[in-house]
Structures are given as structure tokens and as C-alpha cells.
Chains A and B, each alone.
Chain A
Amino acid sequence: MENTVKIKKRYLFFRKEAKKILRDIFKIKNEQKNLKNIYLDFLQVAFISRSFSDELLNTINYLESQGVLVDIINLKPNLKKLINRVEKIKEKIQKETGLGVVDK
């Protein structure tokens, strides 16, 4: 599949790893000025931390604000559950504080 970033680690613990994904996507975006869609392939990933999930969602929101849609593919069901949980909490915090998540 074109425009795919393959995540090559089995465990993703820290925010910096989500920030690295953002940098990788920007490299692709710099090569393809009309980039509208990008796939993140999590096939090799067995575990993600809450911190990583939180930062990944920040990254996805930021990219969407830049006109790039992100699709996560091959995500294991338990990791999807965690990301959904973190996303719900972020939405709740946004509602409570009135703060957005896009700020890089």
C-alpha cells in the first residue's frame, strides 16, 4: 500500500515514539505535496502505553488539521480498546477545559 508508515517496534512506551511517527509522515508529506491520506501499519506492535496513545491521538489530530487523514491498520483489538479509552478521556477533558488538542 502506498503512503504507509510501518511501525517496526513491538512495544511503544513513550511520547517521543509518536513524535517520531509524525516526523516520518512529514518526510513523506515533503516528498508528496498533495498527500491526503496516510496509513500507519501496527502489524508488528504488541503493546502501546497510555502516554504513547495520548501523543498518537495528538499527532493524528494535528495531521488532520493539516489536511492529512490518518488510517491505523492491522491494530490488535486490545490496543484499539486502549486508544478508544484514551480518546474518550481526552474528549471529556476537552469538554471540561474547553481546550483543543492541536498545538505543536
Chain B
Amino acid sequence: MINYQNKIKAQQLEQELTIISEKIEGLKTPKGFLEFILYTISELSANIKEHSKAKNIFINIKINQKICFIKIVDQGIGFRKSYLLKNIFPKDDFAAIEFALSGLSTKNLKERGFDLYSIRKLTEELGGKMTIKSGLAETTIQEKKISFKNLPKKIQGVNISLEMPVKKIDFYKIIR
């Protein structure tokens, strides 16, 4: 069982991920689930490092025998500004989240990222829930349906939370 919660500085991210990974590696989980957790945490962290310009990151991970909860929050520039800086023009925060979920990277095409796309597919396969907040938008994916909600107040950066049952998954078949 893991119950990890910490606010860290961006420059400590690698060190902290190593500590988290060591804890996760010690867990006994169904086949493919360990790969899923490490993949998700590392890709969300890589996104923050490569795109967000955030100084601080909040990480919350709770895993028991039945449920896995992951929440990663950065106080960076958010999806929309990240795209705008690369001359990609989502019309609003909802569109920016949809771009990110579709796999459109802010980098050049040869490094096109499928990070959120794969995490979404993995979460759906596990029967979980994924919520993304950025700017004034909140997007939730659950039971292969996507829903949108306006946030009453603009948030800085990106806030991603995932919750799913701990179960077997064919990890390598799903990732893109």
C-alpha cells in the first residue's frame, strides 16, 4: 500500500520520481498494472518538465489492493499557453485539453507525444476515471464518455487526476 503526498520543486522532480518508483516497484500488483502506474507517473512528469515551466509540482498517489488514485498538479503555464507558444491555436481551454488528449504535441511532429492519449486509453481499459483541469476548463473521461464543465475560477497550470481499480491490464497492447 502507498499513500504518498508531497509538494516538490521542479528541479527535485527526478529525485522524487526515483523515490516514488522504488515504493511502487515494491508493490504486488496484477500483471501489467505496475507498468501502467510507472508509465503514467513518468509521462505526466515528463510533460510538466518539457512543457509547463512550472516551479512547483504537487503529487498525490494512493494505491491499495483495490484502488489506485493518482493526482499530479503543476502551477505552470497550462495547456493552452503551451500550444500558443508553439503557434498552435486552440480556441479555448477545452480545445487545448482535447488537443492534448488526442496526442497533439507542442513539440515538432517527429516528437509527437501520445502521452495523454495512451494514459486515457489505459484508464478507460481499466474502467477508471480521468479528470483534467486547465485554465477555465474541466474535462472528465469515464466509461468511454467525455464530459466538459466550466470552472468557476481560472486555475494556473494543469491538474490531472486518475482513479481506477487495481487489476490486470494488457499494457503493451494499449500504449501508443
Q: Which residues of B contact A19 (CB under 8 A)?
A: none
Q: Which residues of B contact A94 (CB under 8 A)?
A: 110
Q: Are the C-beta atoms of B172 and A51 separated by less than 8 Å? A: no
Q: Are the C-beta atoms of A13 and B110 separated by less than 8 Å? A: no
Report the minimal beta-carbon distance from B140 to chain A, rounded to whole angstroms: 24
Set A10, A49, A103: member contacting B39, Cβ < 8 A = A49
Residues 76-98 (chain A) with a chain B CB within 8 angstroms: 78, 81-82, 85, 89-90, 93-94, 97
Q: Are the C-beta atoms of A49 and B176 separated by less than 8 Å? A: no
Report the minimal beta-carbon distance from A74 to chain B, rounded to whole angstroms: 18
The total of interchain contacts (Cβ-Cβ below 8 angstroms) comes to 67
Check B5 for interface membership: any CB of A closer than 8 A: no
Report the minimal beta-carbon distance from A85 to chain B, rounded to whole angstroms: 6
Check A39 for interface membership: any CB of B closer than 8 A: no
Map CB proximity to B onto A1-44 as digits: 1 under 8 Å, 0 otherwise.
00000000011011100000000000000000000000000000
Check A101 for interface membership: any CB of B closer than 8 A: yes
Map CB proximity to A onto B102-139 as digits: 1 under 8 Å, 0 otherwise.
00000011111111001000000000000000000000
Complex: how many Å from CA A99 to CA B112?
Answer: 11
Q: Which residues of B contact A11 (CB under 8 A)?
A: 17-18, 21, 42
In the complex, how many residues of chain A place their beta carbon closer than 8 angstroms to a beta carbon of chain B?
Answer: 25
Complex: how many Å from CA A46 to CA B35?
Answer: 11
Complex: how many Å from CA A95 to CA B48?
Answer: 29
What is the interface of chain A mostly: helix, strand, loop, or mixed? helix
What is the interface of chain B mostly: helix, strand, loop, or mixed? helix
Complex: how many Å from CA A13 to CA B118?
Answer: 16
Complex: how many Å from CA A46 to CA B34?
Answer: 12
Q: Are the C-beta atoms of A103 and B110 separated by less than 8 Å? A: yes
Set B25, B108, B109, B112: member contacting A46, Cβ < 8 A = B25
Complex: how many Å from CA A51 to CA B50?
Answer: 10
Interface residues of B (CB under 8 A from A): 14, 17-18, 21-22, 25, 35, 38-39, 42-43, 45-46, 49-50, 108-115, 118, 172, 175-176
Given contacts A15-B50, A89-B176, 8 further A-B contacts (CB under 8 A): A13-B14, A13-B46, A47-B38, A50-B118, A51-B46, A85-B175, A93-B110, A101-B110
